[in-house]
Structure 1
Amino acid sequence: MNLKRIGTIGAIAVAGTILLASCAANEGGETPAAGLSGTIDGAGASSQGSAQEAWIAAFQTENPDLTINYDPSGSGAGREAFIAGGVSFAGTDSALKQEEIDGGFAACVPDTGYIQVPAYISPIAVIFNIEGVDELNLDAVTLAKIFKGEITTWDDAAIVALNPDATLPSAPITAVHRSDDSGTTKNFADYLYKVAPEVWDAEPADPFPYATGEAAQGTSGVVDAVTNGTNTIGYADASKAGDLGTAAIKVGDEFVKYTPEAAAAVVDESPAGDTNNGETDLAIKLDRTTTDPTHYPLVLVSYIVTCVEFQDAEVAPLVKGYISYITSEAGQAEAASAAGAAPLSADLSARVATALEAIVAE
């Protein structure tokens, strides 16, 4: 594994970094580590936004001399910032690519490795705002055709056949996707590519692949566009669905609404990812093609990526303490309460704890 330091790339400033903090006490169970002081910066997946707010509030309550900044700029931006040394950790809904791993990470001591662990498991909701429609069933083929632009009206025969009891309007569909590089997009596309490959023929990637529909920045942008539009549909981390309608997707012979438990079931039964490089890389390759209706395969696993050994040794105990907390039983309970996330299973949590022990924090 080649982990040469990138010497020619300057650190990327985290534009628009926001301090997510409050005086709320941790209600997740065990108390986070205390007595830490300093500042650490992270950036990345907007799907983690609500969970990061809760995690930071709890951890800073126990560590009042510690400041944690997390910029929910999107998975792609977060990975880029971490690669270039602009942040100490990244949140990403897409696992690192092998070329990113091979290129190295400027914040890390060369050839000492990296950490990639799941921290946040959540369903992706298919959100909609359709006049006169409260319930919506969709299968993968129909969903793919809507977002590819092949189905353009709500009273299309394919949608009507899936929703015989609904009064669907004879109105154009506005399908809203992410304009930025997004791990949520990659997970959404991966589901369609695996389950409806005859329609969705673009390899899953962070950018949305087709020149169709309406584009919006970040999770909040998609939610706002669907909320404020007419006869709209989009996709977003389920924690941000709010009062919008959410579609049931077809799994096997049944239509399934998302739940944290159904999302967690998919993760627990999925194999290791393609770039899984030992005990410190716990990437997962999700099983999208399950036909078990107790599973919800439109799910994302959002990772935390950081160093085994930092160039700046002072940040190591801060990052190790924080990530250990958010992946602990208490941190996962906090995310479940604040964002409706599915907690890591006991087995996966134990493997994450083992991986984090590798961080050099003397």
Structure 2
Amino acid sequence: MKTKRHGAVLGLIAAGALLLTACGSDNNAPTGSTNSAAAGESSTPVECGGKSKLSAEGSSAQKNAMDTFVQAYQQKCQGADLAYNASGSGAGVKQFIGGQVDFGGSDSPLSESKGEVAGAAERCKGNPAWNLPLVFGPVALGYKLEGVTDLTLNGEVAAKIFNGAIKKWNDPAIAALNSSAKLPDKDIKVVYRSDESGTTDNFQKYLKAASKGAWTQGDGKQFKGGVGEAKEKSAGVAQAAGSVDGAITYVELSFAQDNKLSLAKIDNGAGPVELNDASVGKAIDGAKIKGSGNDLVLDLDSIYGSTEAGTYPLLLATYEIVCSKGYDADTAKAVKAFLTVAATDGQAGLAAAGYAPVPKAFQEKLLTAIKAIA
């Protein structure tokens, strides 16, 4: 995945609300050592050692972020490694609960109603699993429409597109939001995720919150709109949308950019908002935590339905799902080392990969939770 272009959109986030306290490290410490930072590096010590190669699986939305984290981990802890399989959030949760990987990656927290909370506790030997948000990123309404590169949508119109109530690009509802655009009399071709996806879940939650009742299909990791063409994983939907004129999809920013999709602005009631560093940073800065203790589940509903000017409301947070207790000693030590690096030094490379570094307040909460893993 080529990521060098992505910093143009999000490269300034750390200068604003999302102050990142950790910088990259190129200090290689022997396995088993305590790595304290020198000048210019993270000040958070990392207890390297334990299991030499961790395994994790899940969200494809965070694949590039995980690659960045692994690089930082290898630099910080000599001989350490992590293999990440970007199989999708649903598969990641299943593999974690089944004990096949050391931790899972998901764009949505564990679901109590689906039995995931109980299943994860059983996998963790009777201890609760924690949802730790390490990766934030905007979800783009990416489209390909010849002659139209400046398009505004709102929650209601987006909902009607993705449930089939609006079928043409020149529909009056779209035209009302885009008076200066020459919208063609062309069919809208929806592309959606076929696999279970936290991106789908977050997108449907946004539609539910922002559509003024136009989205009645509910949420969840399976797309429920009932229209369009299904493709697997983020790369699949972005590639499909980029190859067909008239297509639209929901996908993480980095994938939209890689496939040269145009990005729709979102009007949340206070005017069109472009997806950029300032609008994403403003949204993340307002995120609240609704989980208890070290289970850092975010309350994103207030963001999805926000009418605050200048806020881009469509984003997701990717969680690493870990056992609070229940690992063997070697696995626990390595998991804590990896997550500590990911929450500090690893965050420094995220803007260049199309993500937003965690806010300082979240970073502190993450480190507290990681330290408590046993």
| TM-score under structure 1 length normalisation | 0.86
**What are the residue-to-residue correspondences of 1:230-241 with 2, within 5 Å?**
230-241=245-256
Determine the structure 1 residue equivalent to 2:316.
Answer: 300
> How many residues get paired?
329
**What are the residue-to-residue correspondences of 1:72-87 with 2, within 5 Å?**
72-87=86-101
**Distance in 1 (alpha carbons) for counterparts of 2:287 and 2:46:** 32
Q: Are 1:176 and 1:232, in contact at CA under 8 Å, matched by a contact in 2? A: yes
Q: Give RMSD over aligned pairs.
A: 1.9
**What are the residue-to-residue correspondences of 1:1-362 with 2, within 5 Å?**
27=24, 30=41, 33=46, 36=49, 38-98=52-112, 99-105=115-121, 107-110=123-126, 112-242=127-257, 243-273=260-290, 276=291, 278-286=292-300, 287=302, 288-328=304-344, 330-337=345-352, 339-360=353-374
Deviation at 1:34, TM superposition (A): 7.6
Deviation at 1:30, TM superposition (A): 2.3
**Distance in 2 (alpha carbons) for counterparts of 1:105 and 1:66:** 27
Distance change (3 Å), C-alpha of 1:217 and 1:285? same
Q: What secondary structure, in the 3-state scheme, does the structure 2 residue paired with 1:210 have?
A: coil
Seq. identity, %: 33
Deviation at 1:39, TM superposition (A): 1.0
Deviation at 1:298, TM superposition (A): 0.5
Q: Are 1:219 and 1:236, in contact at CA under 8 Å, matched by a contact in 2? A: yes
- Which 10-residue stretch deviates more, 310-319 or 78-87? 310-319
Q: What secondary structure, in the 3-state scheme, does the structure 2 residue paired with 1:143 have?
A: helix
Deviations 1:104-148 (A, max 9, x none): 3455232x3322111011110000110111111111111111110
Q: Are 2:60 and 2:233, in contact at CA under 8 Å, matched by a contact in 1? A: yes
Deviations 1:278-305 (A, max 9, x none): 3220101111111112211111011111
**Distance in 2 (alpha carbons) for counterparts of 1:262 and 1:43:** 30
**Distance in 1 (alpha carbons) for counterparts of 2:252 and 2:222:** 16
Query: Higher relative contact order at CA 8 Å, sep ≥6: structure 1 or structure 2?
Result: 2
Distance change (3 Å), C-alpha of 1:35 and 1:270? closer
Q: Match for 2:79: what amino acid?
A: D
**Distance in 1 (alpha carbons) for counterparts of 2:263 and 2:327:** 45
Q: Are 2:163 and 2:225, in contact at CA under 8 Å, matched by a contact in 1? A: yes
Deviation at 1:101, TM superposition (A): 1.3
Determine the structure 1 residue equivalent to 2:32.
Answer: none
- Which 10-residue stretch deviates more, 284-293 or 62-71? 62-71
Q: Match for 2:338: what amino acid?
A: Y
**Distance in 2 (alpha carbons) for counterparts of 1:86 and 1:146:** 39
Q: Are 1:125 and 1:237, in contact at CA under 8 Å, matched by a contact in 2? A: yes
Determine the structure 2 residue equivalent to 1:16.
Answer: none
- Which 10-residue stretch deviates more, 156-165 or 258-267? 258-267
Q: Are 2:193 and 2:223, in contact at CA under 8 Å, matched by a contact in 1? A: yes
**Distance in 2 (alpha carbons) for counterparts of 1:325 and 1:226:** 35
**Distance in 1 (alpha carbons) for counterparts of 2:107 and 2:245:** 29
**Distance in 2 (alpha carbons) for counterparts of 1:56 and 1:332:** 11
Q: Are 2:121 and 2:128, in contact at CA under 8 Å, matched by a contact in 1? A: no
Q: Match for 2:154: what amino acid?
A: D
**Distance in 2 (alpha carbons) for counterparts of 1:142 and 1:50:** 31
**Distance in 1 (alpha carbons) for counterparts of 2:270 and 2:311:** 12
**Distance in 2 (alpha carbons) for counterparts of 1:256 and 1:227:** 23
Q: Are 2:144 and 2:244, in contact at CA under 8 Å, matched by a contact in 1? A: yes
Gaps of 5+ in 2: 1-22, 26-39
Q: What secondary structure, in the 3-state scheme, does the structure 2 residue paired with 1:53 have?
A: helix
**Distance in 1 (alpha carbons) for counterparts of 2:145 and 2:357:** 32
